[in-house]
Amino acid sequence: MTEIIESIDVDVPVRTAYNQWTQFESFPHFLDEVTSITQLNATHTHWVVEIGGQTREFDAEITEQHPDERVAWTTTGGETKQAGVVTFHKLSDTTSRVTAQITWEPQGFIESAASLVGVGGHAVKKDLQNFKEFIESRGAETGEWRGDVHA
C-alpha cells in the first residue's frame, strides 16, 4: 500500500471549500485523471478515471462525512483499491487548509514503479493546486451537501 498526504491553503472560507468538495460530479474540473463521477446516492459514487492511458472504473462509498471537517471514502468495486480522507481546517474567516490523505494499492508494474518514485504524491499535489485555482477563481461553490455520515 502507498500512502500520500498533501495539503494546500485556499483563499476561501472553510465552508466554501468543504461545500465544493461535496460536489463529486465537478471533480473532473480539477482532478486530472478523473473522466467522470456519477453520484448514485448520498454515499455512493461511480468513478471513471484514466491512468497511464488506461481507463478504469470503480465504485466508492463515503464512509464518514462531517460538514466543514472531513469527507472519507473507500472503494467498493472495480480494479482500483484505495481509501482516503480530505479534511478542512479554518485558518481565518477567509482562508482554509485542505489536506488529502490517500492510501492506494498500485496495480501492475507501471503503477508499482510510479508509486516507488512518488508519482502519486505529485499527482495529488497538482490536483489540490487545481482545486485551489478552481474554487478561488469562482469565489463560491457550485453546490453543497451538508449531510452527516457517521463511521
Stretch 121-127: mean pLDDT: 87
Strands 34-41 and 81-90: unpaired
Hey, what amino acid is at 140? A
Give me 22's grid cell. Answer: 461535496
Superfamily of domain 2-22+62-138: START domain (3.30.530.20)
Main-chain dihedrals φ then ψ at residue 51, nearest 5 degrees? -125, 120
| 141 three-class SS | coil
pLDDT at 27 over 70: yes
At residue 118, does pLDDT exceed 70?
Answer: no
Res 69: pLDDT:
98
What pTM does this model have?
0.89
Cβ contact 24:45 at 8 Å? yes
Domain boundaries of the chain, sorted by first residue:
2-22+62-138
pLDDT tens digits, 75-117: 997 777 889 999 999 999 999 999 999 987 756 544 544 444 4
pLDDT at 11 over 50: yes
Distance of CA 69 to the CA centre of its chain: 14
Q: Grid coordinates representing 132?
A: 485551489
Radius of gyration (Cα) for the chain, nearest Å?
15
Q: Give the whole-number percent of the chain exceeding pLDDT 70.
A: 89
Q: What is the mean pLDDT of residues 12-24?
A: 98
CA distances from 120 to 10, 52, 90 (A): 21, 12, 26
